Amino acid sequence: MRTKGFRMRALISVFTFISFVILLLTGAELYVAPHDHAIDWLWWTFLGMDQDVFTELHIIFGLLFLVTSLIHIGYNFKPLLNYFKKPGSGMNFFTEAVVASILSFLIVIGTLAGLPGPANILELGERVQESWTVSYPEAPIPNTESLTIRQLALFLEVDAATLIARLHELNINDANEQSIIKVIAEEYDIAPYKIYMAIK
């Protein structure tokens, strides 16, 4: 039985499809994930991966999707041109192409202008993103997780030694005044907000 050789066109088609699926999944995660200012505070992850991983995958596979799509168009350029033939000359998708182009233009304009439809989709995403923080305490100041123990003590108007003693009660024994809350959280796998709530 004769087997066919490696087909680059098939590889590009499958690669384009896989890139699209990964873009779909990472895009959905980015759509519903908490706002950036809450990600580190809540130590939010999805499927065991943090936001940075999803962002990186989305960017990389977005570029790969662009490249493979352009190659795919190159392989199918002649059939694509046939879609735009004038009426009466055989297969014709000219009208559909015009309608699709107009609708795409209206979606862009509607999104930029905040018109109903696109605006509603964006507002839904905002509501979902904000809902993650409803049952959690808010950070007392922006980027609280980036403060050192000393800076947090100054903010709370307490002695740094007091906060360090409270960390010891959590079995965090290697902290000092220069320890950063986010670093402690990473080392002990504790969300920054939990550390703050325990020592404030």
Q: Where are the domains of the chain?
A: 1-75, 78-136, 144-199
The per-residue pLDDT for range 112-169, each reduced to its tens digit, is 888 888 888 888 888 887 777 776 777 888 888 889 999 988 988 899 898 988 888 8
Find tokens 């839904």 and name the residue: 124
DSSP string, 89-156: SSS--HHHHHHHHHHHHHHHHHHHHT-TTHHHHHHHHHHHHHHTTTTSPPPSSTTGGG-BHHHHHHHH
Q: Write down the pLDDT at residue 1.
A: 41
Q: Write down the pLDDT at residue 86.
A: 55
User: Which residue positions in the chain have pLDDT lower than 50?
Assistant: 1-2
Q: Write down the pLDDT at residue 58.
A: 93
